[in-house]
Amino acid sequence: MSKIRKENLSFISGNSVVDSKLDNDLLFENFIAPEYVNTGFAARLLGISENALRIKVCRGKIPAYKFGRCLRFKMSEINNLFLPKE
């Protein structure tokens, strides 16, 4: 996937352009789909470390998806982990 930087973005919806306050870092996070989050965000939601989250994925305790080399988590599935099991 090519790297997306602020200066390369010119998304036009109506007449608005991407906010100029965006960091100069890579802007890849929620361009895949907003319902998928990265390992760091999912780990913070669950209150565990990123490494512990990866271990749970390897053991099949938490579902995850690969987008290229990146591990992503579906927000709805993360939220379901907080629901009581029947």
How high is the pLDDT of residue 29?
Answer: 52
Which helix (H) or strand (E) segment is 71 a member of? Answer: strand 70-74
How high is the pLDDT of residue 12?
Answer: 36
Question: Which residue, 35, 53, 56, 36, is CA-closest to 44?
Answer: 53
Residue ranges of domains in the chain, CATH in brackets: 1-29 (no CATH), 32-86 (1.10.1660)
How high is the pLDDT of residue 35?
Answer: 87
Taking the model in full, what pTM does it have?
0.59
List average pLDDT for each run of 10 residues in the chain, which is 86 residues long.
Answer: 43 40 45 78 95 97 94 93 81
> What CA–CA distance (Å, rounded) separates 68 from 81?
25
Two tokens at 45?
A: 């939601």
> What CA–CA distance (Å, rounded) separates 64 from 21?
31
Please tell me the total number of residues recorded for the chain in this structure.
86
